[in-house]
Structure 1
Amino acid sequence: MENNFEKILVTNDQINKRIIELAHDINEYYKNTNNILMVPILDGSIVFAGQLIPHLNIDMTLKSTRVSLYNNNTSIDRSKINDVKIDFDLNLIRNKDILIIEDLIDTGNTLNILKNFFIKNGAKSVKICILFKKEINPRDVEVDIDWFGFLVPNQWIAGFGVDSKAKYRNFKHLGIVKKEFQ
């Protein structure tokens, strides 16, 4: 699989070390909080969340969600999103400190929609932890990111949960996908 990548941007060792640092910061922030709802966004954050959770020493509940963006069943122009489907039980949100876990931020649209959804439905607070933050300036939507692992170039990347056309989530590093495999 490594032959499908031009370059490794972040090694598995670097990722694992940074995840431990992120967990330490999150533990410190939430040390006096006992009503935390951690929400990994499917499918991308599965790998990241799976590595982060064992390092968290906080009182939390875990509930993943999926966010689907539709635009008349055609390719998505994210600036003109007509319908959003968020798979979530609203009873879990009220008065919770929510921690969204995501693998990557690029445009900011999905995170903005999800954060606003939680606030609108009674969350006490909403924080965001991202593993990879693409260097995009300006983003379609600016979203406050509370914790992030790595700033990465705005290129066709995949690995460690980040996909390229539903492939390479299981690649243990983050790399730039060769053009012929994008």
Structure 2
Amino acid sequence: MSDRLPHEKGFHVSWDQLHRDARALAWRLDGQGPEDTGWRAIVAITRGGMAPAMIVARELDIRVIDTISVKSYNKQDRSEAKVIKSPDAELMGDGEGILIIDDLVDSGKTLELVRTLYPKAHFGTVYAKPKGRPMVDTFITEVSQDTWIFFPWDMALQYVEPYRGQD
């Protein structure tokens, strides 16, 4: 049993690291789409999936991009996942040829909900935790379930005093 707060076992991801990992995700996904047409579109799970989806779309030259907005957190507290904005229904169908991208699969509840809507879609995340791993088809880095990932859009740079006194 650990007395740590969620932020004390943190994995800090810089913009550079996210870019490298999202490109690695694209390389892993290259050639995995339907044989005759390739990926028809990317759907980013907002908000965290938007930056990786942009990078994957650029790397794989996919021009059709949409979003699905699923709310499953209130601050750092998990709640029941619910869709608050859906992608274009005509585009989506059952998900065949659609690549759904998110930054992280944690408990898997968000992807589980989206997978029920689009069962034939391919789900890719940059990072995966063990509980949610069965919900994702392709990912780059696995982190422990008790690790809190600090993404660059959640962080700010600030001044830090020098170790030995002041100037």
- The alignment partner of 1:107 has SS state of coil
Could you tell me how far 1:69 is from its partner in structure 2? 4.9
> Aligned ranges for residues 77-116 of structure 1 at < 5 Å?
77-78=79-80, 84-88=82-86, 89-94=88-93, 96-116=96-116
**Amino acid across the alignment from 1:55:** E
Q: Which residue of structure 1 lines up, in the alignment, with residue 163 of structure 2? A: none
- Paired residue type of 1:157: I
Q: How far is the alpha carbon of 1:63 from its aligned partner?
A: 0.6
Q: Which amino acid aligns with 2:125?
A: I
Deviation at 1:142, TM superposition (A): 6.2
| Equivalent of residue 140 in structure 2, options 143, 149, 163 | 149
Would the alpha carbon gap of residues 20 and 92 (structure 1) be closer, same or farther in structure 2, given more than 3 Å must change?
same
Identity in percent? 23
Do the aligned residues in 1 keep the contact of 2:111 with 2:136 (CA within 8 Å)?
Answer: no
One-letter code of the match for 1:129?
G
Q: 2:44 aligns with which of 36, 40, 55?
A: 40
Give the AA of the match of 1:150.
T
Q: Secondary structure at the match of 2:30?
A: helix
Residue in structure 2 matched with residue 20 of structure 1 by the alignment:
23
Normalising by the residue count of structure 2, what TM-score does the alignment of the two structures yield? 0.68
What letter is aligned with 2:21?
Answer: R
Mapped contact 1:111–1:143 kept (Cα < 8 A): no
> What is the RMSD computed on CA atoms of the aligned residues?
3.2
- Deviant stretches of 4+, over 3 Å: 4-18, 75-78, 141-144
Aligned-pair CA distance for 1:11: 5.5
Residues 53 and 128 of structure 1, relative CA distance in 2, 3 Å threshold: same
SS at match of 2:111: helix
Cα deviation code 1:12-53 (max 9, x no counterpart)? 555433333321232221263246221100011122122222
Kindly tell me the number of residue pairs found equivalent between the two proteins: 144
Q: Secondary structure at the match of 2:44?
A: strand
Q: Which has the larger radius of gyration?
A: 2
Q: Distance in 2 between matches of 1:76 and 1:152?
A: 18
Is residue 103 of structure 2 the alignment partner of residue 130 of structure 1?
A: no
Q: What's the CA shift string for 1:84-116, capped at 9, x where partnerless?
A: 334223222226422110001111011010011
Q: CA deviation at 1:9?
A: 5.1
Contact 1:40 1:101 in 2 (8 A): yes
Secondary structure class of the residue paired with 1:63: strand
For structure 1, list consecutive stretches of 5 or more residues without a partner in the other structure.
Answer: 120-124, 162-166, 172-182
